[in-house]
Structure 1
Amino acid sequence: MPYRQSLERCLDAAWLPQIVLDDHHAKAVKAAARLSAGIKAGDFPMLGLARERGDLAAMEPVAEHLLKDTSDLIIIGTGGSSLGAQALAQLTGWGTPGHDGRGLKGEDGPRFHFPDNLDAGTFEQLLTKLDLRSTRFLVISKSGGTAETLMQMLAAMSAIEKAGGGKYMKYHFAVLTEPPRPGTENPLRAIAEAREFPILDHHPDVGGRFSVLSTVGLLPAYLMGLDIGAVRAGAAAVIEDLELNKKAAPVMGAALISAQAAFQKTDVHVLWPYSDRLARFGLWFRQLWGESLGKERRGTLPAFSLGPVDQHSQLQLYLEGPRDKAFTIITTEAKSQGPEVLPELAREAGLDLFAGRRIGDLVDAEQRATIETLARNGCPVREIAISKLDETSLGALFAHFMIETILTGFIWDVDPFSQPAVEEGKVLAREYLARMGA
């Protein structure tokens, strides 16, 4: 497996008795059997995609179109149409301090931008500062009716039109949206067809927050030069283990979370990776967990912390605040990594402890110390350890948390694939916009 899960810190008799975990494990095993059978029957394509490769070739002409004479590539999408792609993009270092925003192609490739949060000032700055002549846009919306996505696309088209580039519009855009469905409007597809934008079909049966293994996540990753086959291979390894092993990591994870919520009354689920390159993964997880399980007055609050910085920012609350939290720490192999401190400089400063050490040595010590500190203070904590953060291991993490989320939904008897409460706000927003003066 591309990662290792440890639950020992959650099983002290003072926190979670083994007998309680065993009871919830039995429920998780039944849920896993249901999910495994459904995957084989094709009922859960968001996971079945892990074993497919035939759909990937359709991305190549769209990618070629978007990369031709391109200085900047803007991925327009929100929520599940963007966060998975951003999590994959971070494997290249994108979004971390000092990175230039390019993929693995370096100076031969474009800079990538993900304006996923609709903000008037941010998008205006983006359109103003970039050279629109060499800027391309990939627009992603499953339904084709996402208001934020349509607004950004139309604003970008308007900027190009005002700059005198209207006749070249079709060279600037490509669209990823679901195929036509009888009786259903798809404004994004209608615009793309009218303007001759290349269109790549969104899988019709894969919802946004579960779409990272589809072209929604993999087309941006491919554009950045990542090995998308390895992403799916990593996910496939987790699914295979699910089918063969009653104690597969996501099965035990779902059992643990369900048991903690019932026995320990943990209302907050903190995901805490120790790598900058997993920051957007944390945001992806937050949507997946919250939107999938927050229903019928069930669910736990997904919280996100990051590396050493939140030892200073959040650990005080975690240790001495309300005892309503369970922790998942994602560790990486940091020891002996990064810049080295010259011994003579460390000793000059009276910091012999740092002499000859590398930054990764301190990160390694801190991630182990955080796990131990949480455990000693009675906070339930599990560790997911990654030996190498790459396409394979990240694909495995995607599959792990999707499966864990689905299994938890089955155990709690909630539908992990719907989001009925979100629709009310969307309807009201459109009503308010319609009432504004032109």
Structure 2
Amino acid sequence: MHYRQSIDDALDASVGARGLARTALDRELVKARGALDQLRAWHADGSLPLLRLPARRDDLQALAGHAARFGRFRHVVVLGTGGSSLGGQALVALRDQGFGPTPGRPKLWFMDNVDPATFAELLARLPAAETGWIAISKSGTTAETLTQLFTVAAALQAKGAPLAERLIVITENRDNPLRRYAVRVGCPILDHDPLVGGRFSVLSLVGLLPAMIAGVDAVAVREGAASVLDPALAARDAGQVPAAVGAALSVGLARDRGIGTTVLMPYCDGLGYFGLWFRQLWAESLGKGGQGTTPVRAMGTVDQHSQVQLYLGGPADKMFTVLIGDTAGVGAPVSPAALGGDAALSWMGGQSLGDLLLAEADATAATLQRNGRPTRVIRFEALDERVMGALMMHFMLETIFAAHLLGVDAFDQPAVEEGKVLTRQYLAARARR
């Protein structure tokens, strides 16, 4: 296992009245057995392909050719939103946290919004001949992605750089507007598995093609995911599955203690986009029929200076998951000579940035516990592909377990569809004016 989960400080024995009783946790874990049986059935019959992805390698060989071809560009832009973008961003952050790509690799840009000012700036700055484009939409009907793509096509045509020779489209293998466009212009089309929903697609080509272009080891990501999935499928009961325990904790706290917000707080910049990926996964999968808890991404240490006052002094309606890497001794230690003999700074001598980060993470978790805030801690060694894959599989499974406990379908999003329909109606009405 590439991480360790502790829920002790989320139970009432540690944090008092706001914590979950052990009997309540056990109650939810008994209910979670049904989800564990369902996962085994899905894995056995292949009806949930997500569960087969960690063991697959054949598709990665095919993707490697596309990744190599796009590796010749200086820039690669991913057009897509939500699940078509967030997983890829989380994986690419393993290689690029904003300071530039790995030498010899393209810079990846994820355009997941349709603000025209941002898009105009992108098109003005990126050299057309040195930029590749990947358009991703499972349904092939996503208004944002289609509008982005047609905007790019027109801009490149005006520059004499046709889009087709520098474009890959990822969509379902059925008739849809995105696929029809790709056929019309003659660009490569990669099939999005219709049984892999966008927010669960990070281990598929949706997340892994951008990651491979950036130099991420896709095999290692899947190995990390398998290290979580395989023991879960082999477990005798849900209490042996960390993801099921996490789901039972969250749902139990919501039911018994009125905890309506779940805060994910990584003390690791490399998990910043992971937090945004989790936010969509949890919210869109569980927020149905009046059920669900609201996910919030906080970042340590920065949000100690913006959010923790609320977490400690505000409403006691949140549970916390603090993600902590072992950064002890990482970085150059502060030289005692640099402190100039200032006694107030004597504690800094010989300590590194990694030492400070770890101390602040531990202190925040302890402070939350001491103030009666239910707190789960997940620890890992250095963040790498296997750790990332393991964490992603953990939280996908935790979400599926939580959906079962709440009695909702983890894989649909009916409320989102209403907004999409209204958007098209508003645009059609505007066109008739």
- Show the counterpart of 1:409: 403
- Which one of 73, 81, 106 corresponds to residue 84 of structure 2? 81
* Equivalent residue runs for 1:87-126 within 5 Å: 87-95=90-98, 99-100=99-100, 102=101, 104=102, 106=103, 108-126=104-122
Q: For the structure 1 residues 349 and 76, does the alpha-carbon distance in structure 2 shift closer, same or farther, using more than 3 Å as the test?
A: farther
- Which one of 160, 164, 168 corresponds to residue 164 of structure 1? 160
Output the amino acid matched with 2:70. L
Counterpart-to-counterpart distance in 1, 2:96 and 2:166: 26
Output the amino acid matched with 1:367. A
- Which one of 199, 208, 212 corresponds to residue 218 of structure 1? 208
Deviation (angstroms), 1:340: 2.7
CA deviation string 1:75-122 (max 9, x = no partner): 111100000000001111333xxx12x1x3x1x222111111221111
Output the amino acid matched with 1:399. M
Deviation (angstroms), 1:437: 4.4
1:267 aligns with 2:271: no
Counterpart-to-counterpart distance in 1, 2:172 and 2:341: 63
- Which one of 196, 220, 236 corresponds to residue 230 of structure 1? 220
- Show the counterpart of 1:132: 128
Counterpart-to-counterpart distance in 1, 2:67 and 2:74: 14
Q: Give the alignment's TM-score, normalised by structure 1.
A: 0.94
CA deviation string 1:290-334 (max 9, x = no partner): 000000000000111001111111111111111110011111111
Counterpart-to-counterpart distance in 1, 2:124 and 2:96: 25
Deviation (angstroms), 1:364: 0.6
- Show the counterpart of 1:352: 346
* Equivalent residue runs for 1:31-430 within 5 Å: 31-68=35-72, 70-95=73-98, 99-100=99-100, 102=101, 104=102, 106=103, 108-166=104-162, 169-180=163-174, 185-245=175-235, 246=237, 247-350=240-343, 351-430=345-424
Output the amino acid matched with 1:203. D
Q: Are 1:47 and 1:213, in contact at CA under 8 Å, matched by a contact in 2? A: no
Output the amino acid matched with 1:426. K
Runs of 4+ in 1 over 3 A off after TM superposition: 347-350
Q: How well do the aligned residues superpose, as a CA RMSD in angstroms? A: 1.3
Counterpart-to-counterpart distance in 2, 1:12 and 1:60: 50
SS across alignment from 1:414: coil
Moved more, 57-66 or 388-397: 57-66
- Show the counterpart of 1:22: 26
Deviation (angstroms), 1:229: 0.6
SS across alignment from 1:436: helix
Q: Are 1:177 and 1:189, in contact at CA under 8 Å, matched by a contact in 2? A: yes
Counterpart-to-counterpart distance in 1, 2:242 and 2:58: 28
Output the amino acid matched with 1:199. I
Counterpart-to-counterpart distance in 2, 1:207 and 1:16: 32
Deviation (angstroms), 1:436: 2.6
Q: Are 2:107 and 2:214, in contact at CA under 8 Å, matched by a contact in 1? A: no
Counterpart-to-counterpart distance in 2, 1:332 and 1:64: 32
Moved more, 296-305 or 335-344: 335-344
- For these two proteins, the number of residue pairs brought into alignment is 424
Q: Are 2:39 and 2:233, in contact at CA under 8 Å, matched by a contact in 1? A: no
- Show the counterpart of 1:10: 10
SS across alignment from 1:374: helix
CA deviation string 1:2-36 (max 9, x = no partner): 11000111123322221111111111233212222
Deviation (angstroms), 1:131: 0.8
Output the amino acid matched with 1:435. A
Output the amino acid matched with 1:190. R
Counterpart-to-counterpart distance in 1, 2:300 and 2:78: 27
CA deviation string 1:120-159 (max 9, x = no partner): 1111100001111111101111111111111111111111
Counterpart-to-counterpart distance in 2, 1:177 and 1:395: 23
Counterpart-to-counterpart distance in 2, 1:224 and 1:404: 28
Counterpart-to-counterpart distance in 2, 1:249 and 1:355: 39
Counterpart-to-counterpart distance in 2, 1:172 and 1:349: 59
Output the amino acid matched with 1:200. L
Output the amino acid matched with 2:246. G
Counterpart-to-counterpart distance in 1, 2:33 and 2:254: 18
Q: Are 1:329 and 1:382, in contact at CA under 8 Å, matched by a contact in 2? A: yes
Counterpart-to-counterpart distance in 1, 2:113 and 2:278: 17
Q: For the structure 1 residues 172 and 42, does the alpha-carbon distance in structure 2 shift closer, same or farther, using more than 3 Å as the test?
A: same
Q: Are 1:58 and 1:200, in contact at CA under 8 Å, matched by a contact in 2? A: no
Counterpart-to-counterpart distance in 2, 1:347 and 1:335: 24
Q: Are 1:271 and 1:328, in contact at CA under 8 Å, matched by a contact in 2? A: yes
Counterpart-to-counterpart distance in 1, 2:44 and 2:6: 28
Counterpart-to-counterpart distance in 2, 1:348 and 1:75: 52
Q: Are 2:108 and 2:210, in contact at CA under 8 Å, matched by a contact in 1? A: no
Deviation (angstroms), 1:66: 2.1
% of aligned pairs identical? Answer: 46
Deviation (angstroms), 1:346: 1.9
Output the amino acid matched with 2:417. E
Q: Are 2:320 and 2:375, in contact at CA under 8 Å, matched by a contact in 1? A: yes
Q: Give the alignment's TM-score, normalised by structure 2.
A: 0.95
